[in-house]
Every structure is written in structure tokens, then in C-alpha cells.
Structure 1
Amino acid sequence: MSIDHEQRTGSELVAAEPDPVPDPGMEEHLPRPTDVDPIAERRAERQVATLFGLSVLFTLGFCVAYFAIKIKGRTDPPHIFGWGASNVALGGCLGIALLLIGTGAILWARKLMGDHEIMEMRHPARSSDEDREEALSALSLGTEESGIARRPLIRNSMLAAMGALGLPAIVALRDLGPLPGKKLFHTVWTEDMPIVQDVTGTKIKASDMQVGQLVNAEPGVFYDAFTPPGGGTTVEVPEGVTAQEDRAKAAIVVVRMDPDAITPAKGRADWGVNGILVFSKICTHVGCPISLWEQQTHHLLCPCHQSTFDLADNGKVIFGPAGHALPQLPIKVDEDGYLVAQSDFTEPVGPSFWERG
């Protein structure tokens, strides 16, 4: 019974079929100077380590140049040969660091790694188990002949050069923007700041709110500079991008419920006015705006990932991926009966972050 061609193993095909091209043979192997001269071998090893070491220095040069060459806020930043000094220094240092690593690797392979010619015939895509074991053996042999295990100077200098390349990535993360500092913990809300509707900018009178009603609102500072009635520091009107950022962080929903349905947490008994409560409009999962209000159940639903908050129970999460309750804004009424804030939020608004505590 004959064996089908596709069922033959690689070794069977080699044995059964002639070579498609006559074997040209190999020239006589000549040893390299580093194969026979220990001095040349050690010199090559030091050369490779020196290239890797210089790569580390240029990587550190990238970090130094990043901080040393000041360009922020300057109308005429420094130049080198007509090009921006920062770009030249950063690009030059990083490019040379990578070039030195590549040159060191090539020199290592040419002078110190195993130098033996091998030949292998093509075989079917699926190798036999014997061929696979042979490939693993060849891989182990290659690792051994590379000398990485018995040449700690090269190994350690290469690891240092490769590891140092992580520093530019870390340093460059600063260009993603300024660090937020305490900005994540505060909004523009201050004591006695009026609560206004987010579309018309009109103040909200407590007596006008109906049970079951929800109003999207924001601080009145966006419509006029605000000075607390009792004096104090005037809150300036934000402008441009800052205004948009502050407006988004301070967005709120104002709801009115039956006071008997509300279960205030300890210390929050005076945070509302006759069943009127105010919560952040920003979902604590990934920051989506929320205003899907179910007045019968007092639930607020996020449209993005269905996180659900019970506003009658201090904004508690009752469903979905949100990590913590909606922050509540303490409110009161002014002498004219309009809703105003008692203070800023007492906790950060928006999604969780690692310093939240």
C-alpha cells in the first residue's frame, strides 16, 4: 500500500525525492580572530559593552535635555543650526541610543556568537515531532552559543541599555498635560453661590420645584462674577477652555422628592430643602452625564453603562459598574427663596482615581 504524498513526514520526503537544485557545497570554514585569540575575544566583548554603556548615557541625556531646555512660555525658544534645540537634543539622544544598541547587537553577533554554517531542506508546513524536538534543541544550542549566559558583562550592559530606554517614555508622559494636583478634589462651588438652570442661566426658586421634578443645573458663576453676600473673595468668571472644564466638573441635577421618602446619611439632614436635593451630574463610573430620572423609584440611570443610583438613599449605587455613590452638594435657600450652595462638594466628583482614598 502506497503512502499518500501529503501524509509523508519531512524526513520521508527528503529521502524519497531528489534535491530540486544540486548541492553547491560549502566553502571551508575559517575561524574568526575572536575564535582563536582570547585577547581579541575580550576586546570585542569590551567593545560591545561600551556601545551598550554609551547607549545608557545618551538615554540619560534625553532625560536631561527634556528638563534643561526650557521652551514653555517662551516666544523665542533656543535653536541649534536653525532647528528647535529641544527637538534636536531629544531626537538626537534617543536616536543615537537606539543606534548604539543595534550596533552593539550586530558586533556581538558577528564577532562573538556561534559561527557555524547550517543547511536544512524545506519540509511540509507541519513538522514531525522529531523535527520539533530538534528545533528546540537548536534553539537551546543557539542560546548557549550566543554566550549570553557566560558573558555577564555583555548581558548586564545590554539589559541596562534596554532598561534605560524606558526612562524617555516615562519622562515624555509629562507632555500628556500638567498634573492635576488638588483640582480633582474641588469644583467652583462655594458658599452662597446660586444654583441656575444650565440652559437659561436663571436662578431656581425652591417654591417653584414640583415633587418628582428634575432640573439640570450649574453654578451661577458662569453668568456673572460671584461675591458672597457676607463679603470675601470674588470668584472670577472662568473663560475659554477653563470655563468648559469647570462647567463640566460642577454640573448637577436638582430633584424634589417627598421628604418622607428620603433617608439622609449621618450629618446630611440639613443638606436639602423641603425634599429638594442636589447631586453631581457626573457618573462615578467613567464620567458620563446623567439625567434619566425615574420619579416613582427615585432612581437616576446612567445611559452609558446602566449604573443606577438611588437619590433617596444618598445617591447609593444599586446597579451597574459605578464604584461609589453620586456626590451630594449641600444646599440651602437665600433670603429671596432661591437655591444656593452651602459649600463645595465634600468629596471628589466623577470617576474613581487612585488617590481618592
Structure 2
Amino acid sequence: MTKTNPGRFFEDYQIGQVIRHAVPRTVAEGERALYHALYPARHALYSSDEFAASCGLESSPIDDLAAFHIVFGKTVPDISLNAVANLGYGEGRWLRPVWPGDTLRAESQVIGLKQNSSGKSGVVWVRTRGLNQMDEPVLEYVRWVMVHKRDPEAPAPETVVPDLAAAVPAAELQLPEDLNFSDYDFDLAGEKHRLADYELGEKIDHVDGVTLEEAEHMLATRLWQNTAKVHFDATHRPDGRRLIYGGHIISLARSLSFNGLANAQMIVGLNSGAHANPAFAGDTVRAWSEVLDKAETDAPGVGAIRLRLVATKGDSSRFSLKGEDGKYLPDVLLDLDYWALMPL
């Protein structure tokens, strides 16, 4: 009897199927230190207990994207172990902060299936929830991933493509209890810019660049327990190169966005996201952002800003995204649309 698990292939998924993912993970302070070592993460709310307390929180929570990576990593053995590529995200919401000492687990429901025309792979849509030790949801999101078929001759399932919202409505964003930016310290945060200083359509060049290192990517994927073969096994791709985990690009771009968006403190919504092109060690990543929307919230002094975050590689021209054919330019790595909380 075979004891090992080869992972699920496209024909193993069924609409409505619920998957409870192993293994729960208790988050410690070391998680934050490693996250800040991997990325130039400097947002004050996640760096200082004192700054977080001045904003109404009990202490500094774990970075929102670190929590996302932990939950995401739980899903990989069941959803994307045999992936060709992770394609996109939508309808994401952070529902409550994750604190050191919390234990996170994840569960997913299959909500869409579509076989590719080649018959060799298909796209799987899942809605994933991360829960803490009290079974309280801490975040939820939809993602879709292209997965190999075990048997190319296996019959195609009925096509079901979920109808996803273009954006999470601002009124549905969940803010941490007691969050208060009334006494926000702009000097300690690093910039003076508040929500009112940003204009719709404004584009911000985040200036800095970081060259991807194989060692950092490998450490990141192991930290999040992401076991997708394309990130570890150089023989798994025809070109013999290990694909950089898309979440690594997300966190790197978000960290680079500090220069110009230092006060976009908490990520609370993920409207959409696409990994436009693959990234490999040696690529130099830069980032720019576009302001898409702004909204007020019920929390004192707290507003919400909707941002498009774009990561590119090389010395690409600033603010370029798609060509005349409507397809992403080859130097675009990431196109992410999210909501963050910012002082009014």
C-alpha cells in the first residue's frame, strides 16, 4: 500500500468539494523577524508595539501578508502541488489581526473548474479561509491555479467559472476593533502623506529595486511551508529553472511601496491579482502604484485607499502595464489591486 502522497491532479477536484488542510501552525515573534529579514518591510504598525498601541491596538500584529503566506502555504499540498502556475486572486478580506501565539489553519472549497484546450491541464478555483485557534476566520480569499492532469485522456469536467466581484466594496472591509488614527504620529511612520494628499489616478514610482536571490526565495518558500514543485525541483520545469513563488513578489513589491505609501498601514482587502509573468533568481524587481479609489470608515481618523500595485523586472519604463493587444508586457511580474487603511 502506497504511503506517500503525489498531490491532487486536475481530475481529482469536484465542485463543492471542501478540503481541510494540514498542518496547523502556531505563529511566533520569529515569524515577524524572518519576514522583515526577507523583505525591506518598514511599515510602523508592524514594526513597533508602541506605535501599534498608539493606534488603539494591544500590540503590533503579524504583517498581513505574512498571515496570508502562512494560510496560503497550508493549501499548497492539496491545491497546487502539481501546479503549472498560480494565476490570480480575488474577493480577499483580512477579517481580524493575527497575533504572535495564534495558531492558524486553513480550509478551501472548490468553486470552479475549467479544462484547458490542450487537455493536459485545467484551472481550479478555490475559496480559502484561514482560521485561528478559536475557529475565528482571520482572512478569506479566492485564488485560481492551473494544475496538471494525471491522465490527459481523462474526461473533462463540466466547466464552471465563478462570477467574482471586481472589487470588495469599501463598506464590507473589516477593520480591527479599537483601531484609531486620531493621534497618528507621521514622523515615526516615516512620511507626512495622509489620505487627503492622494488623488484618484495618481501614480507613484517607488524608486527602489531589489535583485532576487535564489537563497532568499528558497528560505521564503520553506518559511511558509510552500511545497509546490515548481519552486523547489529544478527538474520539474523544461527550462530547468526554479520559479520564484508569486507571494515572494507580492511581499517584495509591498515592501518597496513604503517609499511613497508609508502610511498605507494595514491591508484589509484583496480585490484582484495576477502573476503576469514568471520571475527567476537574478531578476531585479521594481514597483509602482496607482490610486484607484478612496473611502472613509467608521474608525476614528481612519480612511481606506484602494491601490494598484505593479511589480516589474529590469529597467522597464515607469507605469507601463499592457501592450496594444491588451496583454501584460513581458517585464510585468505582478498586477495587484488591494485596499489598505491610512490616516485621514
TM range (shorter): under 0.3
Q: 1 or 2, which has the higher helix percentage?
A: 1
The structure with higher relative contact order (CA 8 Å, sep 6+) is 2
Q: 1 or 2, which has the higher strand percentage?
A: 2
Q: Which structure has the greater CA radius of gyration?
A: 1
Length-normalised TM-score, structure 1: 0.18
